[in-house]
Amino acid sequence: MAGEASQGTFDVVVLGGGVNGAGVARDCAMRGLSVLLLEKQDLASGASGASSGMIHGGIRYMTSDRRVTELASRDAGYIRRIAPHLTFRIPFLIPFATHGEEATLLDRLTWYATEVYVGTYDLFQPLKGGKPSARLTAEELYAVEPSLRPGLHGAVTLDEWGIDGQRLCLLNALSAAAHGAQVRTWTEATGLVREAGRVAGVRWRDALTGEHGEARASVVVNATGGWSPRWGKSNGVLVPMRPGKGVHLSLDRRHGNYGIICTAVDGRQMFLMPHEMESIIGTTDDDYYDDPDDLDATAEEVEYLVEGVASLVPSVRQSRITRAWWGVRTTIYEYGVEEDDLSRDHRILDHAAEGSAGLLSIVGGKLASYRAQSEEVTDRALALLGRAALPCRTHEEPLPGGDDVPVASELAEQHGVPEAIAARLVYRHGSLAREVLRVADDDPRMKLVVCRDEGIIAAEVAWIARHENVRRLQDLRRRCRLAVGGCGGLDCARPAAQVVARELGWSADQLRAELSDLLEVGWRERRPVLDGWQLAEEELLRAVHRGLGGL
Amino acid sequence: MAGATAALAAREAGGRVVLARKAPGSSGLSGGAISVAEDPASMPDTPFAARSGVVESARRIAVTRPGHPYRVLHGRLDRLWTALEFATGQLSSVLAPPSGRNRWLLTPFGHAHAAAACARSMAAGDLAEVRGPLVVCGFEGHLGWDPWLVASGAERVRSLGAPETLAVRLDLFRWEDAALARPFDLARMLEAPGVAEEAGRLLRKALPRGAAAAVFPPVLGLDPGARVPERIAAEAGIPVAEMLSDLPSVPGLRLHRAIEARLAAAGVEVLQGEVRDASGPDVPAAVGGREVVARSWVLASGRFVGGGIERHGALMEGVMGLPVLASEGPFADPSVRFAGRSSASITLRDSRSPQPLLAAGLRVDEELHPLDAEGRTLHERVFAAGAVVGGHDPASDGTGMGVAIFTGWLAGRAAAGRAP
């Protein structure tokens, strides 16, 4: 896909390879439009890749935006249908805590209100295949989650779905490409081409090759997320937004099997949850008007998150934080509202009145609703193009690998790999795990385990390099979490780089440059959380990569 | 390495020595290089032959790097060479003697790394000494090492005096589970009768005309007694060397075993277990349940991997609770207290920059006594050696082993009561 000339004419050019951009590209392509998707970095390298990794129904928005909750719940159900391999159940606990020793009347009223609230959310659960809530006594609560601090009075449960948001985004882009779209990552839209008050296309530049060109299209969709306000400004249109910085922390292992809803020092709700092979603490929400390319987590944000969780799970202070990661939410602009109270609804802006007819911007929205949002945008694009409104099928047609998902144990036996490896392959690739393992059938060396944290084998690295739109080594962070875990690439980075280099024909110097770039991204994420054993790991990493590798 | 050097030096000076440790040291993670100093005044295009020797390079580091242990010890750097000869001599079963200048050794990452001394199994791969084509070998049956990537490390320094290279994959390990084996397993496989010889025969077939030496992945036997490099060399007819190792490290394990053997032979008593109640000389301390009273103490507990320096919200020394006051960059100034600062504020965004957090450790005087915030000696008979001493980044700045050996040797002799 990458590298093909994108000179030429399209129906629609989509800017931004986040979940909205990839979703729009997929829907447009499935409805017969010719599409070019441009992403200045890699797919899911912005907010889509830094989401909490849930397609939750948005229980928090039920009081203000019941429509958002319904939309998100319904679409979460669709995502489970089209990518069943990528979702997993996360049961949450909302513990009942008191400030003093004894529960006051107010405490009891709060618990009752919580139960009623979660009970109302139960009405939405069937839309996404979730289980109804349950009331746990204190005894039951400590039986399922012994790490909670003493003195809690029970809990109510809440069922949500976890997902790998980065792969969700990738699968949309791959599906778009399979339906004829051109997907160009690491390619920036440098400017809008306008003719007679209409957009006529975009100019683009490939960040890796320096190649540049112009793509003509009468509809341009701006789905650049947190970059939208700046991109709009430099292209003469207004994209109002309240960008909100959100920071998460990862722990080195699954803390338990339940997510825990906690209250932060300022009264905000936050969580600790098991997610794939690790645990996630999230999240902060603060207005952020600086450059979205220049984010870092601060010491204050890290402590805020740890403190909030420690109020219910004191042992989190002893756990190993492997990294902090962040993104910018693209929340709809409102004045005089706290960050948390901003609507998570979405808007589609038509910039015709600004002399840019044919330019649409999408603002706001949630990961869980990306598909419905994309459908709306595609409907608008079809209308602008004056095309017949073909029906949307993105909720019916499975994403790549989402059909006929194999059973890991059977796959393991057929191909002679450990079941743990097969399970991770099935999780990431669904039915395509069979194709990945065929690479190893032809070459037993490809069963070499590259990462024991994530269960990555050389065959998967090669397959991803061949089929998943990889242009840089760091793209594999988002394809299979290469060098993302606690080891930071100590074991996996070099062998994986060797495999990718062989597949993509990189020179040794290029391989070393890519390796260096991959490790630098990891360093940025670990820097704010270097403590305890993670600091010792950093010393080893430096010894190997800087000392021995000269990187 | 610092602890073992201190123990052996104190032993040689006639002391009775107990080496207390909670776990095997991080020398087992060594890649096979004894890095002491690389000339900071040399340019990237300065030929190997024109670069200054190891001791002179250390002197230059002492001038250019405020806070570095070589700076603290600059008045004693004339003994660095003696210390280095002592340590490599003690471990001569696995280490080749130093020559006074740096050897340039290939790494699996395709980099040429400077080392004052190295594993015996690596000496023949010195890029500054190999005259004629160097053959870089990988294995056909194992993806662990890419000989073309490794060889690129020599190509990049061709103009500095490195030989031309030829990368080859020897058709070895194409059986059963060898493809999935970890380095230790491969090392064991090569020890088996006939396997090293087969490697040698395959190498001989692949040799270009005039080939001067061959470099292999660092898995040439776990036991030096199995003589794997020698057996390959005998069959191929040219000298054979290992490249340096990343982790896990077979050469590191060999070094660790050699240290163990040497400590035992020298009569150093090794006690394993957590050290408790460590309040200093002449006061009983518990080591793994045993009570030890010592006249002098040498703290050689390492940095973060070793566990000598810990960070749990704030930096501290883990055995005696000494203050962490030395670092580099903006924190080389001893008046700046940084131990309690957030990790983001004592690291720099570009990982290639010197990182104050990774260079944090004890502040010492010229006698290697740990100092307090006011610069006062904490105890006349407590010494610090190795990575627990701050001011350098032992993992990556190319002076880690040099500081370990030099400070270990000085501290060990001082602790045994012998003037340096």
Contact B320, B279 (CB under 8 A): yes
Tell me if A56 sits within 8 A of A160, measured CB to CB. yes
B345 and chain A in contact, CB less than 8 A:
yes
- The vertex-B378 CA angle with B373 and B380, nearest 5°, equals 145
Nearest to A527 among B149, B307, B344 (CB): B344
Read off the pLDDT of each residue in B326-336 and give the average, rounded to a whole number: 88
- Could you give the angle at the alpha carbon of B24 between the alpha carbons of B308 and B317, nearest 5°? 5
B400 at the A interface (CB within 8 A)? yes
CA of A141: how far to CAs of A122, A134, B1, in Å?
A: 20, 11, 50
Please give the structure tokens belonging to residue B237. 């007819």
The half-sphere exposure of A96 on its side-chain side, counting CA atoms within 13 A, is 26
What's the rounded Cα separation, in Å, for the pair B62 and B80?
12
Task: Verify whether the Cβ–Cβ distance A527 to B110 is below 8 Å.
Answer: no
**DSSP string spanning A481-536?**
-TTTSTTTTTTTHHHHHHHHHHHHT--HHHHHHHHHHHHHHHHHHHGGG--HHHHH
How would residue B177 be classed by pLDDT, with cut points 50, 70 and 90? Answer: confident
**Has residue B418 got a pLDDT over 90?**
no
Contact A529 B343 (CB under 8 A): yes
Of A480, A488, A543, A479, nearest in space to A515 by CA: A488
Query: Given the DSSP bridges, would you call strands A35-38 and A242-251 parallel, antiparallel or unpaired?
Result: unpaired
Measure in Å the smallest separation between the Cα of B95 and chain A Cα atoms. Answer: 18
Contact list, A519 vs chain B (CB under 8 Å): 351
Q: Which of A38-42, A237-241, B78-82, B416-420 has the lowest mean pLDDT?
A: B416-420
Which of A446, A447, A536 faces B305 most closely, judged by CB atoms? A536
β-strands B240-242, A456-457: how paired? unpaired
Amino acid at A301: E
User: What is the distance in angstroms between the Cα of A295 and the nearest Cα belonging to chain B?
Assistant: 11
Whether residue B108 and residue A494 make contact (CB cut-off 8 A), yes or no, is yes
Which one, of A269, A270, A230, A471, lies nearest residue A361 by Cα? Answer: A230
Is pLDDT larger for residue B276 or for residue B128? B128
Choose from A445, A509, A521, A541 for mutation: most chain B CBs within 10 A: A445
Q: What average pLDDT does this structure show over B195-202?
A: 97
Q: Is B23 on the interface with A (CB under 8 A)?
A: no
Question: What DSSP designation does B364 have?
Answer: B
Distance from C-alpha of A14 to C-alpha of A181, rounded to nearest angstrom: 10
Out of A523, A528, A540, the one facing B247 most closely (by C-beta) is: A540
Residue A1: predicted pLDDT: 42
Alpha helices in A211-357 (DSSP H): 228-234, 299-310
Residues 6+ apart with CB under 8 A from A68: A58, A61, A343, A344, A345, A366, A369
pLDDT at A431 over 50: yes
Question: By the CB < 8 Å criterion, does B184 face chain A?
Answer: no
pLDDT, position A76: 94
Judged by a CB distance cut-off of 8 A, whether residue B342 touches chain A is yes
DSSP H or E run through B81:
helix B80-90
CB A270 within 8 A of CB A298: no
Average pLDDT, chain B: 95
Longest dimension (CA), chain B: 67
Backbone angles phi, psi at A405, to 5 degrees: -70, 125
Structure tokens given for B4: 């073992």
Reported as a pLDDT band with limits 50, 70 and 90, residue B176 is: low
Which of B30, B127, B143, B169 has the highest number of chain A CBs within 10 A, making it the mutation to test binding with A?
Answer: B143
Q: pLDDT at position A392, please? A: 97
- Residue-wise pLDDT tens digits, B89-106: 999 999 999 999 999 999
User: Would you call B110 and A523 a contact, using CB atoms and an 8 Å cutoff?
Assistant: no
Rounded CA separation A410/A229 (Å): 50
Work out the number of other CB atoms within 10 angstroms of the CB of residue A423.
Answer: 17
Confidence check: pLDDT of A437 > 80: yes
To the nearest whole Å, the CA of A151 is away from the closest chain B CA by 27
The answer to which of A108-122, A222-236, B64-78, B167-181 has the lowest mean pLDDT is B167-181
Confidence of residue B420 (pLDDT cuts 50, 70, 90): very low
Spatial distance between the Cα atoms of B224 and B218, rounded to a whole number of angstroms: 12
Contact of B344 with chain A, judged by CB distance below 8 Å, is answered with yes
Q: What is the pLDDT of residue A424?
A: 97
**CA A374 remoteness from chain centre:** 16
Residue B242 to chain A, least CA–CA distance (Å): 14
C-alpha to C-alpha distance for B251 and A51, rounded to whole angstroms:
43
**Searching chain A, which residue's CA lies closest to the CA of residue B394?**
A543
* Residues in chain A closer than 8 A to B350 (CB atoms): 520
Q: What average pLDDT does the segment B211-223 reach?
A: 98
- Do the bridges between strand A242-251 and strand A278-282 make them parallel or antiparallel, or are there none, so unpaired? antiparallel
Give the confidence band of A3 by pLDDT, cuts at 50, 70, 90: very low
Position A386: which residue type? G
Averaged pLDDT for residues A540-547: 95
Please tell me the total number of residues recorded for chain B in this structure. 420
Q: How many CB atoms lie within 10 A of CB A51?
A: 27
Find the DSSP H helices in B192-305. Answer: 195-206, 228-236, 250-265
How many Å apart are CA A36 and CA A21, to the nearest integer?
10
pLDDT mean over A401-409: 96
Q: Report phi then psi at A10, rounded to 5.
A: -130, 165
Chain B residues in contact with A495 (beta carbon < 8 A): 143-144
Whether B235 has a pLDDT exceeding 50, the answer reads yes
Query: By the 8 A CB rule, do B179 and A441 touch?
Result: no
Cβ <8 Å between B180 and A501: no
Q: Do B109 and A515 touch (CB under 8 A)?
A: yes
Residue of chain B minimizing CA distance to A528: B344
User: What does the pLDDT read at residue B395?
Assistant: 85
Bridge-based pairing state of the strands A8-15 and A212-222: parallel
Q: Which of A299, A458, A539 sits opposite B143 (nearest CB)?
A: A458
Query: Which residues of A170-275 form beta strands (DSSP E)?
Result: 182-184, 187-195, 198-206, 212-222, 242-251, 259-263, 269-275
**Is residue A102 packed enough to be buried (19+ CB in 10 Å), middle (13-18) or exposed (0-12)?**
exposed
- Residue pair A222/A361 in contact (Cβ under 8 Å)? The answer is yes
Cα B158 to chain centroid, rounded: 26
Nearest to A28 by CA among A469, A390, A369, A400: A390
Contacts of residue A527 in chain B, CB cutoff 8 Å?
Answer: 343-344, 347, 349
Give the residue-averaged pLDDT of B278-300: 92
Contact A14, A35 (CB under 8 A): yes
Q: A510: nearest CA in chain B?
A: B149
**Is B109 in contact with A445 (Cβ distance < 8 A)?**
no
Mutation target for A interface from B1, B185, B351: give the one with most A CBs within 10 A: B351
Q: Among A494, A499, A524, whose Cβ lies nearest the Cβ of B109?
A: A494
Q: Dig out the tokens for A189 from the structure.
A: 């839209």
Distance from CA of B171 to the nearest CA of A (A): 13
* Residue found under tokens 């190891």: B54
CB contact under 8 A, A448 and B357: no
Beta bridge partners of B114: B104
Confidence of residue A98 (pLDDT cuts 50, 70, 90): confident
Cα–Cα distance for residue pair A213/A202, rounded to 1 Å = 9
Rounded to the nearest integer, the mean pLDDT of chain A is: 94
A414 sits in which H/E element: helix A408-415
pTM of the model: 0.96
Chain center to CA of B187: 21
| Closest CA–CA distance from residue B173 to any residue of chain A (Å) | 10
Percentage of chain A beyond pLDDT 70 is 99
Output the six-digit token pair for A268.
């905000």
Reported confidence tier of residue A256, pLDDT bands at 50, 70, 90: very high
Give dist(CA B386, CA B118) in Å, integer.
18
Alpha carbons within 13 angstroms on the beta-carbon side of residue A97 total 14
Mean pLDDT of A38-53: 96
What's the average model confidence in pLDDT over B301-305? Answer: 96
pLDDT tens digits, B250-285: 999 999 999 999 999 999 999 999 888 888 899 999
Residue A453 burial (CB count, 10 A): 20
Contacts of B36 (CB under 8 A, 6+ apart): B54, B57, B58, B80, B84, B115, B116, B117, B399, B401, B402, B405, B406
Helix axes B183-191, B250-265, angle to 10 degrees: 70
